[in-house]
Amino acid sequence: MTAPKNITRDDLENRFRQFQGGIERRVDEKKNTLVSVAAGGAIVLLLLFFLLGRRSGKKKTTVVEIRRV
């Protein structure tokens, strides 16, 4: 049976840095895609609200007739 290896603070720091570096790389790769999708979705929503508002305005117009007596 072999004796267990002592884990030092440096070992732990190195492993955590490796782990954190891997996660940061993945987040950076996905960030650009997420920003593009969010911007596209915002533009589509603004266009949809604009068009629905225009339609609603046309549908509820009132004609006022003024007559002189």
**Angstrom distance (rounded) from CA 47 to CA 42:** 9
Q: How many domains does the chain have?
A: 1
Task: Indicate whether 27 belongs to any domain.
Answer: yes
Domain that holds residue 62: 9-69
Residue scoring higher pLDDT (1 or 64): 64
Q: Which two tokens stand for residue 38?
A: 């969010």
- Say what the pLDDT of residue 1 is: 58
**Backbone φ, ψ for residue 36 (5° rounding):** -65, -45
Does pLDDT of 61 surpass 80? no
| Whole-number percent of the chain with pLDDT over 70 | 86
Task: Indicate whether 3 belongs to any domain.
Answer: no
Predicted model pTM: 0.49
Task: Indicate whether 48 belongs to any domain.
Answer: yes
Task: Indicate whether 2 belongs to any domain.
Answer: no
What average pLDDT does range 9-35 have in this prediction?
A: 88
What average pLDDT does range 27-37 have in this prediction?
A: 89
Task: Indicate whether 22 belongs to any domain.
Answer: yes
Task: Indicate whether 1 belongs to any domain.
Answer: no
Task: Give the helix ranges, DSSP H, for the chain.
Answer: 9-59
Task: Indicate whether 19 belongs to any domain.
Answer: yes
